Amino acid sequence: MNIYPVDIATQRDIRAVCAKIGTDPRALAYIAPKSRMLHFYADNVDYRAAGFLKQEMLSRGGDVAVTKHVIDGRAEKSDILIMGTQTQLRSLQEKLKAMDIWGLKEFREKLAGLMKGLAVSEWTISSPAGHTITLSMNTQLMAILNLTPDSFFEGSRVDEKGISLRAEECMNEGAYILDVGAESTRPGAERVSESEELARLIPALKVLRRDFPDAIISVDTYKPEVARAAAGEGADMINDVSGFTFCDGMPEVIAELKIPYVLSHITGTPETMREYEGHEDILRELAEYFTDKLAVLDEAGVSREQVIIDPGLGFGKNADDNFAVLKNIDSLRVWGRPVLVGHSRKRFTGTERLAGTLAVSALMAGRTSLLRVHDVKENAEALRIAEGISGACV
Protein backbone atom coordinates (compact mmCIF):
# COMPACT_ATOMS: atom_id res chain seq x y z
CA MET A 1 0.00 0.00 0.00
CA ASN A 2 1.18 3.52 -0.87
CA ILE A 3 -0.37 6.73 0.44
CA TYR A 4 0.51 10.07 -1.10
CA PRO A 5 -1.07 13.53 -1.41
CA VAL A 6 -2.77 14.66 -4.63
CA ASP A 7 -3.72 18.15 -5.75
CA ILE A 8 -7.49 18.50 -6.01
CA ALA A 9 -8.08 22.13 -7.02
CA THR A 10 -11.22 21.83 -9.12
CA GLN A 11 -14.20 19.54 -9.60
CA ARG A 12 -12.57 18.43 -12.86
CA ASP A 13 -9.70 17.08 -10.76
CA ILE A 14 -11.98 15.09 -8.46
CA ARG A 15 -13.87 13.68 -11.43
CA ALA A 16 -10.62 12.56 -13.07
CA VAL A 17 -9.42 10.85 -9.90
CA CYS A 18 -12.78 9.16 -9.36
CA ALA A 19 -12.74 7.93 -12.96
CA LYS A 20 -9.30 6.42 -12.34
CA ILE A 21 -10.62 4.69 -9.20
CA GLY A 22 -13.73 3.48 -10.99
CA THR A 23 -16.19 5.31 -8.76
CA ASP A 24 -19.86 4.94 -9.66
CA PRO A 25 -20.62 8.05 -11.77
CA ARG A 26 -23.86 8.51 -9.82
CA ALA A 27 -21.81 9.17 -6.68
CA LEU A 28 -20.05 12.17 -8.25
CA ALA A 29 -23.06 14.39 -7.60
CA TYR A 30 -22.36 13.92 -3.89
CA ILE A 31 -18.58 13.73 -3.97
CA ALA A 32 -17.72 16.67 -6.25
CA PRO A 33 -19.23 19.42 -4.04
CA LYS A 34 -17.06 18.16 -1.18
CA SER A 35 -13.82 18.41 -3.12
CA ARG A 36 -12.94 22.04 -2.53
CA MET A 37 -13.09 24.43 0.38
CA LEU A 38 -14.63 27.81 -0.48
CA HIS A 39 -13.76 31.03 1.33
CA PHE A 40 -15.98 34.12 1.55
CA TYR A 41 -15.11 37.39 3.28
CA ALA A 42 -17.92 39.52 4.70
CA ASP A 43 -17.56 42.90 6.39
CA ASN A 44 -19.58 44.64 9.12
CA VAL A 45 -21.45 41.55 10.30
CA ASP A 46 -23.50 41.85 13.50
CA TYR A 47 -21.50 40.20 16.30
CA ARG A 48 -24.44 37.93 17.16
CA ALA A 49 -24.69 36.78 13.56
CA ALA A 50 -20.92 36.24 13.45
CA GLY A 51 -21.03 34.04 16.54
CA PHE A 52 -24.04 32.12 15.24
CA LEU A 53 -22.42 31.50 11.86
CA LYS A 54 -19.24 30.27 13.50
CA GLN A 55 -21.09 27.69 15.59
CA GLU A 56 -23.19 26.55 12.65
CA MET A 57 -20.18 26.08 10.38
CA LEU A 58 -18.20 24.29 13.08
CA SER A 59 -21.08 21.86 13.49
CA ARG A 60 -20.85 21.12 9.74
CA GLY A 61 -17.09 20.68 9.64
CA GLY A 62 -16.30 24.18 8.39
CA ASP A 63 -15.35 27.30 10.30
CA VAL A 64 -15.71 31.08 10.49
CA ALA A 65 -12.92 33.44 11.52
CA VAL A 66 -14.23 36.37 13.60
CA THR A 67 -12.72 39.19 15.60
CA LYS A 68 -11.65 38.06 19.06
CA HIS A 69 -14.17 40.35 20.77
CA VAL A 70 -17.20 38.56 19.29
CA ILE A 71 -16.97 35.97 22.05
CA ASP A 72 -16.94 38.46 24.93
CA GLY A 73 -19.51 40.78 23.33
CA ARG A 74 -17.17 43.78 23.19
CA ALA A 75 -17.49 44.09 19.39
CA GLU A 76 -20.78 45.20 17.86
CA LYS A 77 -19.59 44.35 14.34
CA SER A 78 -17.04 41.96 12.91
CA ASP A 79 -15.58 41.17 9.54
CA ILE A 80 -15.67 37.42 9.03
CA LEU A 81 -14.03 34.76 6.85
CA ILE A 82 -16.39 31.86 6.24
CA MET A 83 -14.79 28.57 5.16
CA GLY A 84 -16.61 25.49 3.94
CA THR A 85 -17.39 23.15 1.08
CA GLN A 86 -20.34 23.68 -1.25
CA THR A 87 -22.24 21.02 0.67
CA GLN A 88 -21.60 22.68 4.04
CA LEU A 89 -22.50 26.15 2.76
CA ARG A 90 -25.71 24.94 1.15
CA SER A 91 -26.68 23.25 4.40
CA LEU A 92 -26.02 26.54 6.19
CA GLN A 93 -28.26 28.40 3.72
CA GLU A 94 -31.11 26.01 4.48
CA LYS A 95 -30.72 26.68 8.19
CA LEU A 96 -30.65 30.44 7.61
CA LYS A 97 -34.03 30.35 5.84
CA ALA A 98 -35.57 30.34 9.30
CA MET A 99 -33.29 33.12 10.60
CA ASP A 100 -34.35 36.65 9.65
CA ILE A 101 -32.57 38.37 12.55
CA TRP A 102 -29.19 40.09 12.98
CA GLY A 103 -28.85 40.63 9.22
CA LEU A 104 -28.76 36.89 8.51
CA LYS A 105 -31.43 37.12 5.81
CA GLU A 106 -29.28 39.55 3.80
CA PHE A 107 -26.23 37.37 4.43
CA ARG A 108 -28.06 34.26 3.18
CA GLU A 109 -29.32 35.96 0.04
CA LYS A 110 -25.94 37.43 -0.87
CA LEU A 111 -24.10 34.16 -0.18
CA ALA A 112 -26.59 32.26 -2.35
CA GLY A 113 -26.07 34.73 -5.19
CA LEU A 114 -22.30 34.46 -4.97
CA MET A 115 -22.32 30.68 -5.00
CA LYS A 116 -24.71 30.66 -7.94
CA GLY A 117 -22.36 32.94 -9.88
CA LEU A 118 -19.31 30.82 -9.12
CA ALA A 119 -21.10 27.74 -10.43
CA VAL A 120 -21.34 29.19 -13.96
CA SER A 121 -18.43 28.16 -16.18
CA GLU A 122 -19.70 28.38 -19.77
CA TRP A 123 -21.18 31.30 -21.68
CA THR A 124 -22.62 31.76 -25.17
CA ILE A 125 -22.95 35.39 -26.25
CA SER A 126 -24.51 36.51 -29.51
CA SER A 127 -23.23 39.57 -31.35
CA PRO A 128 -25.26 41.86 -33.62
CA ALA A 129 -22.80 40.98 -36.40
CA GLY A 130 -24.26 37.48 -36.40
CA HIS A 131 -21.40 35.71 -34.64
CA THR A 132 -21.49 33.61 -31.51
CA ILE A 133 -18.86 34.19 -28.84
CA THR A 134 -18.31 30.99 -26.89
CA LEU A 135 -16.43 31.37 -23.62
CA SER A 136 -15.60 29.00 -20.80
CA MET A 137 -12.91 28.39 -18.19
CA ASN A 138 -10.67 27.13 -20.99
CA THR A 139 -8.74 30.38 -21.33
CA GLN A 140 -8.60 31.97 -24.78
CA LEU A 141 -6.63 34.87 -26.19
CA MET A 142 -7.67 38.33 -27.35
CA ALA A 143 -5.06 39.89 -29.63
CA ILE A 144 -4.27 43.61 -29.37
CA LEU A 145 -4.23 45.62 -32.60
CA ASN A 146 -3.53 49.32 -32.01
CA LEU A 147 -4.25 51.86 -34.74
CA THR A 148 -2.36 54.46 -32.73
CA PRO A 149 1.04 56.10 -33.05
CA ASP A 150 1.49 56.36 -29.26
CA SER A 151 0.42 53.03 -27.73
CA PHE A 152 2.97 52.02 -25.09
CA PHE A 153 4.14 48.86 -26.90
CA GLU A 154 5.38 49.63 -30.39
CA GLY A 155 4.96 46.01 -31.50
CA SER A 156 1.18 46.29 -31.27
CA ARG A 157 0.90 49.26 -33.63
CA VAL A 158 -0.61 48.68 -37.06
CA ASP A 159 -2.26 50.79 -39.74
CA GLU A 160 -4.99 50.25 -42.29
CA LYS A 161 -2.54 48.77 -44.79
CA GLY A 162 -0.98 46.28 -42.40
CA ILE A 163 -3.90 45.33 -40.20
CA SER A 164 -5.07 42.32 -42.23
CA LEU A 165 -1.62 40.77 -42.30
CA ARG A 166 -1.22 41.20 -38.54
CA ALA A 167 -4.76 39.96 -37.85
CA GLU A 168 -4.16 36.81 -39.89
CA GLU A 169 -0.90 36.22 -38.06
CA CYS A 170 -2.59 36.60 -34.67
CA MET A 171 -5.41 34.19 -35.55
CA ASN A 172 -2.97 31.63 -36.91
CA GLU A 173 -1.03 31.88 -33.66
CA GLY A 174 -4.13 31.19 -31.57
CA ALA A 175 -6.09 34.40 -31.04
CA TYR A 176 -9.83 33.88 -30.62
CA ILE A 177 -10.78 37.58 -30.64
CA LEU A 178 -9.16 40.59 -32.33
CA ASP A 179 -9.31 43.75 -30.17
CA VAL A 180 -8.89 46.89 -32.29
CA GLY A 181 -8.24 50.27 -30.69
CA ALA A 182 -7.77 53.71 -32.20
CA GLU A 183 -6.94 55.72 -29.07
CA SER A 184 -4.22 55.00 -26.54
CA THR A 185 -5.26 54.71 -22.88
CA ARG A 186 -1.76 54.24 -21.51
CA PRO A 187 -0.90 56.28 -18.39
CA GLY A 188 -0.45 59.92 -19.35
CA ALA A 189 -2.04 59.53 -22.77
CA GLU A 190 -3.96 62.51 -24.12
CA ARG A 191 -7.45 61.96 -25.44
CA VAL A 192 -8.22 62.20 -29.13
CA SER A 193 -11.37 63.58 -30.66
CA GLU A 194 -14.23 61.38 -31.74
CA SER A 195 -13.63 62.34 -35.38
CA GLU A 196 -9.95 61.42 -35.22
CA GLU A 197 -10.69 58.09 -33.56
CA LEU A 198 -13.29 57.27 -36.20
CA ALA A 199 -10.91 58.28 -39.01
CA ARG A 200 -8.38 55.76 -37.72
CA LEU A 201 -10.83 53.01 -36.83
CA ILE A 202 -13.53 52.73 -39.48
CA PRO A 203 -11.36 52.18 -42.60
CA ALA A 204 -9.35 49.50 -40.79
CA LEU A 205 -12.51 47.87 -39.44
CA LYS A 206 -13.96 47.74 -42.96
CA VAL A 207 -10.81 45.98 -44.16
CA LEU A 208 -10.90 43.46 -41.33
CA ARG A 209 -14.54 42.60 -41.83
CA ARG A 210 -14.02 42.26 -45.59
CA ASP A 211 -10.99 40.01 -45.25
CA PHE A 212 -12.16 38.02 -42.23
CA PRO A 213 -15.97 37.78 -42.30
CA ASP A 214 -15.99 35.06 -39.63
CA ALA A 215 -13.55 36.69 -37.21
CA ILE A 216 -14.74 37.93 -33.82
CA ILE A 217 -13.77 41.59 -33.63
CA SER A 218 -13.79 43.72 -30.49
CA VAL A 219 -13.41 47.50 -30.55
CA ASP A 220 -11.60 49.21 -27.71
CA THR A 221 -13.41 52.52 -27.14
CA TYR A 222 -15.12 54.47 -24.39
CA LYS A 223 -17.07 56.79 -26.72
CA PRO A 224 -20.73 55.83 -27.30
CA GLU A 225 -20.89 57.14 -30.87
CA VAL A 226 -17.68 55.34 -31.81
CA ALA A 227 -19.24 52.17 -30.40
CA ARG A 228 -22.34 52.77 -32.52
CA ALA A 229 -20.28 53.34 -35.68
CA ALA A 230 -18.13 50.27 -34.97
CA ALA A 231 -21.21 48.09 -34.57
CA GLY A 232 -22.46 49.43 -37.88
CA GLU A 233 -19.29 48.15 -39.54
CA GLY A 234 -19.59 44.67 -38.05
CA ALA A 235 -17.85 44.88 -34.67
CA ASP A 236 -18.90 42.02 -32.39
CA MET A 237 -18.21 43.58 -29.00
CA ILE A 238 -17.18 46.79 -27.25
CA ASN A 239 -14.24 46.87 -24.84
CA ASP A 240 -14.66 50.00 -22.68
CA VAL A 241 -11.74 50.58 -20.29
CA SER A 242 -13.60 53.45 -18.60
CA GLY A 243 -16.49 51.51 -17.10
CA PHE A 244 -18.70 54.08 -18.92
CA THR A 245 -17.29 56.91 -16.76
CA PHE A 246 -15.51 59.01 -19.40
CA CYS A 247 -18.57 59.81 -21.52
CA ASP A 248 -22.31 59.88 -20.92
CA GLY A 249 -24.60 57.51 -22.73
CA MET A 250 -22.60 54.29 -23.16
CA PRO A 251 -25.06 52.04 -21.23
CA GLU A 252 -27.97 53.25 -23.34
CA VAL A 253 -26.05 52.68 -26.59
CA ILE A 254 -24.98 49.18 -25.51
CA ALA A 255 -28.61 48.37 -24.64
CA GLU A 256 -29.78 49.69 -28.00
CA LEU A 257 -27.14 47.78 -29.98
CA LYS A 258 -27.51 44.59 -27.91
CA ILE A 259 -23.76 44.16 -28.30
CA PRO A 260 -21.46 42.28 -25.90
CA TYR A 261 -19.72 44.70 -23.54
CA VAL A 262 -16.52 44.49 -21.50
CA LEU A 263 -17.11 46.32 -18.21
CA SER A 264 -13.77 47.42 -16.75
CA HIS A 265 -12.65 48.88 -13.45
CA ILE A 266 -10.58 52.07 -13.46
CA THR A 267 -9.67 54.71 -10.93
CA GLY A 268 -9.10 58.14 -12.44
CA THR A 269 -8.37 58.66 -16.14
CA PRO A 270 -5.34 57.90 -18.34
CA GLU A 271 -4.09 61.39 -17.52
CA THR A 272 -4.47 60.99 -13.74
CA MET A 273 -4.70 57.28 -12.85
CA ARG A 274 -1.18 57.01 -11.44
CA GLU A 275 -2.24 59.45 -8.73
CA TYR A 276 -4.72 56.84 -7.43
CA GLU A 277 -2.40 53.84 -7.16
CA GLY A 278 -2.28 52.03 -3.83
CA HIS A 279 -5.73 50.94 -2.62
CA GLU A 280 -6.52 50.15 0.99
CA ASP A 281 -8.65 47.15 0.02
CA ILE A 282 -8.76 46.62 -3.73
CA LEU A 283 -10.93 43.49 -3.51
CA ARG A 284 -13.62 45.28 -1.52
CA GLU A 285 -13.46 48.20 -3.94
CA LEU A 286 -13.90 45.89 -6.94
CA ALA A 287 -16.86 44.17 -5.28
CA GLU A 288 -18.60 47.49 -4.64
CA TYR A 289 -17.70 48.88 -8.07
CA PHE A 290 -18.99 45.97 -10.14
CA THR A 291 -22.12 45.60 -8.03
CA ASP A 292 -22.94 49.28 -8.62
CA LYS A 293 -21.99 49.30 -12.32
CA LEU A 294 -23.96 46.16 -13.12
CA ALA A 295 -26.99 47.71 -11.45
CA VAL A 296 -26.66 50.77 -13.71
CA LEU A 297 -26.41 48.54 -16.79
CA ASP A 298 -29.46 46.60 -15.63
CA GLU A 299 -31.39 49.83 -15.25
CA ALA A 300 -30.36 50.95 -18.75
CA GLY A 301 -31.67 47.72 -20.24
CA VAL A 302 -28.33 45.97 -20.85
CA SER A 303 -28.80 42.23 -20.47
CA ARG A 304 -26.46 40.68 -17.92
CA GLU A 305 -25.82 38.03 -20.60
CA GLN A 306 -23.96 40.66 -22.66
CA VAL A 307 -21.41 41.57 -20.00
CA ILE A 308 -17.80 40.47 -19.54
CA ILE A 309 -15.91 41.55 -16.39
CA ASP A 310 -12.40 43.10 -16.53
CA PRO A 311 -10.62 44.17 -13.30
CA GLY A 312 -8.60 46.78 -15.21
CA LEU A 313 -5.06 45.83 -14.21
CA GLY A 314 -2.80 48.88 -14.16
CA PHE A 315 -5.64 51.37 -14.46
CA GLY A 316 -5.11 53.27 -11.21
CA LYS A 317 -3.48 50.27 -9.49
CA ASN A 318 0.09 49.66 -8.37
CA ALA A 319 1.92 46.34 -8.45
CA ASP A 320 0.59 45.22 -5.06
CA ASP A 321 -2.98 46.02 -6.15
CA ASN A 322 -2.52 44.07 -9.38
CA PHE A 323 -0.98 41.09 -7.61
CA ALA A 324 -3.85 41.01 -5.09
CA VAL A 325 -6.41 41.06 -7.91
CA LEU A 326 -4.66 38.27 -9.80
CA LYS A 327 -4.26 36.10 -6.70
CA ASN A 328 -7.98 36.47 -6.01
CA ILE A 329 -9.20 36.49 -9.61
CA ASP A 330 -11.85 33.86 -8.79
CA SER A 331 -13.64 36.49 -6.69
CA LEU A 332 -14.68 38.25 -9.91
CA ARG A 333 -16.70 35.22 -11.03
CA VAL A 334 -19.36 35.75 -8.38
CA TRP A 335 -21.50 37.75 -10.82
CA GLY A 336 -21.74 34.69 -13.05
CA ARG A 337 -20.00 36.37 -15.98
CA PRO A 338 -16.79 35.56 -17.87
CA VAL A 339 -13.64 37.36 -16.74
CA LEU A 340 -11.11 39.06 -19.02
CA VAL A 341 -7.61 39.98 -17.82
CA GLY A 342 -5.48 42.55 -19.64
CA HIS A 343 -1.98 42.31 -18.16
CA SER A 344 0.20 42.18 -21.25
CA ARG A 345 3.53 44.02 -20.93
CA LYS A 346 2.21 46.36 -18.27
CA ARG A 347 4.57 47.99 -15.81
CA PHE A 348 3.86 45.58 -12.96
CA THR A 349 5.08 42.62 -15.06
CA GLY A 350 8.65 43.75 -14.38
CA THR A 351 11.69 44.81 -16.36
CA GLU A 352 11.48 41.77 -18.66
CA ARG A 353 7.88 42.40 -19.56
CA LEU A 354 7.32 39.50 -21.92
CA ALA A 355 8.61 37.04 -19.31
CA GLY A 356 6.41 38.63 -16.66
CA THR A 357 3.42 38.57 -18.98
CA LEU A 358 3.88 34.87 -19.68
CA ALA A 359 4.13 34.13 -15.96
CA VAL A 360 0.78 35.83 -15.37
CA SER A 361 -0.80 34.08 -18.36
CA ALA A 362 0.29 30.67 -17.07
CA LEU A 363 -1.13 31.41 -13.62
CA MET A 364 -4.43 32.61 -15.10
CA ALA A 365 -4.90 29.52 -17.28
CA GLY A 366 -8.20 27.88 -16.39
CA ARG A 367 -9.14 30.74 -14.06
CA THR A 368 -10.23 33.35 -16.61
CA SER A 369 -12.05 33.17 -19.92
CA LEU A 370 -9.95 35.68 -21.85
CA LEU A 371 -6.44 37.11 -21.74
CA ARG A 372 -5.80 40.29 -23.75
CA VAL A 373 -2.23 40.10 -25.07
CA HIS A 374 0.26 41.57 -27.50
CA ASP A 375 2.37 38.45 -28.12
CA VAL A 376 -0.11 35.80 -29.20
CA LYS A 377 2.28 32.99 -30.12
CA GLU A 378 4.20 33.10 -26.86
CA ASN A 379 1.09 33.39 -24.70
CA ALA A 380 -0.60 30.54 -26.53
CA GLU A 381 2.38 28.33 -25.73
CA ALA A 382 2.34 29.41 -22.06
CA LEU A 383 -1.35 28.49 -21.86
CA ARG A 384 -0.75 25.15 -23.55
CA ILE A 385 1.89 24.14 -21.00
CA ALA A 386 -0.07 25.46 -18.02
CA GLU A 387 -3.21 23.65 -19.13
CA GLY A 388 -1.24 20.48 -19.70
CA ILE A 389 -0.04 20.58 -16.10
CA SER A 390 -3.42 21.41 -14.58
CA GLY A 391 -5.16 18.81 -16.74
CA ALA A 392 -2.76 16.01 -15.87
CA CYS A 393 -4.36 13.11 -14.02
CA VAL A 394 -2.72 11.65 -10.91
Assess whether 372 carries a catalytic annotation: yes
3-class SS of residue 97: coil
- Which amino acid is located at 376 in the chain? V
**H or E element, residue 45:** strand 38-46
Q: Which residues contact 52 (CB under 8 A, 6 or more apart)?
A: 99, 102, 104
β strands within 47-94, DSSP E: 63-65, 77-84
- 175 - beta bridge partners? 141
Assess whether 317 carries a catalytic annotation: no
Between CA 61 and CA 67, with CA 66 as vertex, the angle to 5 degrees is: 155
3-class SS of residue 267: coil
- In the set 166, 353, 367, 372, the catalytic residue is 372
CA 23 to chain centre: 34
- Residue 188: left if φ>0, alpha if ψ -120 to 50, beta else—which one? left
- In the set 166, 333, 337, 346, the catalytic residue is 346
Write out the catalytic residue numbers.
Answer: 346, 372
